[in-house]
Amino acid sequence: MDNGTRVYNDIFRDLVLGVIFLIAIPPLLIWELSLAQSLLLPLMIVNAALAASSVYFLHKAFSQERNRLQLF
């Protein structure tokens, strides 16, 4: 596998992970609203972690693509 293919695979993986984490947030938010108060804080922490992970992976993918385009 050449370096260009590896870069595209890394970018695609990061985009997919970012989108998966974004899709996982709304169902957890709905579930949070229907649960007891005692479980609310842990689920809010999980949602914050999912949001942060999503932003991280999407930023990483777009910055890799920007760097790849600057090489040419």
Tens digits of per-residue pLDDT, 1-59?
Answer: 556 667 678 878 888 888 888 888 788 777 777 766 667 777 778 888 888 888 888 88
E runs forming strands in 1-70: none
pLDDT value at 61 more than 80: yes
- Identify the pLDDT of residue 1: 53
Torsion on CA atoms 33, 34, 39, 43, rounded to nearest 10: -50
* Cβ 16 vs Cβ 54: under 8 Å: no
pLDDT score, position 64: 83
pLDDT at 38 (0 to 100): 67
Q: What is the rounded distance in angstroms from the CA atom of residue 63 to the CA atom of residue 65?
A: 5
Per-residue pLDDT at 36 = 63
